Structure formats: C-alpha cells, structure tokens
Amino acid sequence: MLGIGIAGLLAAIISLSVGEGGPQSQRIGQVGPVQQLFGGIAQDGARLGDPDADTTISVYTDLRCGPCADYQIATIDPLVEELARTGEAQFELRHYSLGAESKTLAAEAAAAAGAQGRQWQYADLLMRNLEAAGAEVDDEFLADIANAVPELDADQWEADRSSDAVAETLATDEEEGASLELQAEGPSVLVTGPGGTEDLGVEPSTADIEDALERAF
C-alpha cells in the first residue's frame, strides 16, 4: 500500500510539471506574474499592444544582460500595464547585442516565440530567470523557458529558431541599432509618434518616456 501511495504521489507531481510544451523545469519561476502582465494584450512578432496606437515605444535590449533585465522589470513592465493594456501605446522588442556577437541564442529564441505571438512573455520570463541560467544562457535553459511559457508549442518554437524569418528579423534589428548608433552600455529606448522619433538614450526613466510620449504628438 505504501508503494502504491508513493507511486501515485510521483505521478501527480509529474502531471503538474507537464504543460503543453512538455516537462517544465523547476528552476523557472515567475511564470504566473509574467502571464498576468502580458496575457490578453495583442502581440504580433516584436509588437505588443494595439497596432493602431498612435505612439510606439521601441526597446533595444540584450536579453543576456543583467542590468538590461533589471531595467525591463523595473521600468518597462509597469509601462506595459499602463500603456499597452489600455491601448495608449504599442511596444516593440528589438534585439541589439551588447557583446561581441551580433546574433545571440537568447535573441533567436525570443524571436522564434514571437512567431506564435509569445515573444514578450518569453523574453520577460528569460530575463526574470537569468540567475538560474548560471554562467551561460544555453540551449537547455532556453528550452526550459519555452516549456514554461503558456500556450507556446515548444516543438514549433524549436523549428522556428532556425527559420529564415527569425534570421532576417535579428539581422534587421542589429542593422537598425547600428545605424542609430546606439550605445552598447545598456537598453536603449526610442519613442515614435506623429511628431517623429526621439532617441531617449540608455535606460531612460519612466518620467522621461512619459514626457517623450507627450512630445510625440
């Protein structure tokens, strides 16, 4: 009887750990808060929010960068709730490597999730769990993130990682970041509206972004 009970308990634990994409690693946290933040907001590739919004906030960032992750969580995430969910502005997630590599596995993985309308959840969950990655953001860690994102088909995500569409997206982001002469010191933010585009530089504050949105009209 004891053996049967233990077997049943193990089966229950395994059942709880498996989602649509497969077994979810116990090292990935913050799944609930991330889904609560982004769930129900329209997404298409890099875009988050109403495509008809008059203003766009473009965030050029490196998903492997610890300070970039801190900035995303402290500054960009609250603005998502305030502006994207209400339809006041849309956001763009653009990948710009701050290291020697022009294309990173993390950027590739997030862009592949974007093919299923889940790039922002993927990127935010990755950033919130960077410490769990240890010294390197490798394929195992990236797969753990994919399996933790609700309603993401992990098999399709894996296939999309090597697609021409993802490669073209990352090449475009890097080229545009270089043409804008973005500083390789942290995440950069641009605000675009009827009044034009304004480069706010590295890690602008919430107040800086909100003021730029007013000037964008």
pLDDT tens-digit series, residues 25-35: 568 999 999 99
Q: CB neighbours (10 Å) of residue 73?
A: 17
Q: What percent of the chain has pLDDT over 70?
A: 88
**Cα 80 to Cα 117: distance, rounded to the nearest angstrom:** 16
Model confidence, pTM: 0.87
Query: Comparing 14-18, 84-88, 91-95, 197-201, which segment has the lowest mean pLDDT?
Result: 14-18
pLDDT value at 12 more than 80: no
CATH number of the domain that residue 50 is part of: 3.40.30.10
Q: With a cut of 50, say whether residue 213 has pLDDT above it.
A: yes
Give the tens place of pLDDT for each residue, 131-178: 888 768 999 999 999 999 999 999 999 999 999 999 999 999 999 999
Rounding to the nearest 10 degrees, give the CA dihedral for residues 195, 175, 94, 100. -140
Domain that residue 107 falls in: 2-215
Confidence of residue 11 (pLDDT cuts 50, 70, 90): very low
pLDDT, tens digit, 9 for 90 and up, residues 31-57: 999 999 999 999 999 999 999 999 999
d(CA 35, CA 38): 5
Q: What CA–CA distances, in Å, run from 140 to 31, 109, 132, 133?
A: 18, 11, 11, 9
60: part of which helix (H) or strand (E)? strand 56-61
| Start-to-end C-alpha separation, the chain | 71
Q: How many domains would you assign to the chain?
A: 1
> Strand pairing of 18-19 and 188-193?
unpaired
Sign of torsion, CA 171 177 183 189?
Answer: negative
* Mean predicted lDDT score pLDDT of the chain: 89
Cα–Cα distance measured from residue 118 to residue 98, given in angstroms and rounded to the nearest whole number: 23
Q: To 10 degrees, the CA torsion angle through 150, 154, 156, 158?
A: 130
Within its chain, how far is the Cα of 136 from the centroid? Answer: 18
Given a contact cutoff of 8 angstroms between Cβ atoms, the answer to whether 63 and 104 are in contact is yes
